[in-house]
Amino acid sequence: MTTLALLTSYITGAAKLNYTDTTPLAQIGTESVVFVVRTESRFTTARELADALKADPAGIVVAFANALGNQNHIAAAQLAKSVGANVRQMKVVVFNGSGEAVTALLGGHVDVITISASPVLQHLTAGKVRILAVSANQRLPGLLSSVPTWKELASLRYRPTGAA
């Protein structure tokens, strides 16, 4: 079992093992990435985040866990690239775990986190965070049914990680 990090860890120098050294057998599942801000954030919509990222990619601190080149990092970089932002100017913070990223967001130390939904659902229910968009082919059920997909927001030209 592995994640997208198998592909990117070699490129970033974090691992000696390359994807050509393995034989994929099956894809068991995928997990969508959500873009999350505090309820007090200046960003109330995905479009506002995308516009700000395009205008000043270094002016927004994007955080995720737990490695450069993982699906959370790729999702943020894909958004930046799709709106014409210079990806190399992005200000990113990598935390050792999702809990640290969520804590930094709630404390106002970062502007947005890209993360799987489960670590932020309790904070969404408590009204502490807002989920701006999800990188999925269709809206997710339950608590996330009102969250638009990047695919819906096609005018942003963003193709979500793993979407067809």
Name the more confident of 39 and 135.
Answer: 39
What is 30-156's CATH topology?
A: D-Maltodextrin-Binding Protein; domain 2 (3.40.190)
The predicted pLDDT at position 58 comes to 95
**Segments making up each domain of the chain, as ranges:** 30-156
Average pLDDT, the chain: 85
pLDDT in tens, 118-146: 999 999 999 999 999 998 888 999 999 99
Looking at residues 68-77, what average pLDDT do you find? 83
Other C-beta atoms closer than 10 Å to the C-beta of 147 total: 22
Residues 114/131, Cβ–Cβ less than 8 Å? no
Residues 6+ apart with CB under 8 A from 42: 48, 52
DSSP conformation letters of 21-44:
GS-----------EEEEETT-S--
Looking at residues 7-23, what average pLDDT do you find? 70
The predicted pLDDT at position 164 comes to 40
pTM of the complete model = 0.81
Confidence of residue 101 (pLDDT cuts 50, 70, 90): very high
Q: Cα(65)–Cα(113) distance, rounded to whole angstroms?
A: 9
Helix (H) or strand (E) holding 48: helix 46-55
Looking at residues 15-30, what average pLDDT do you find? 72
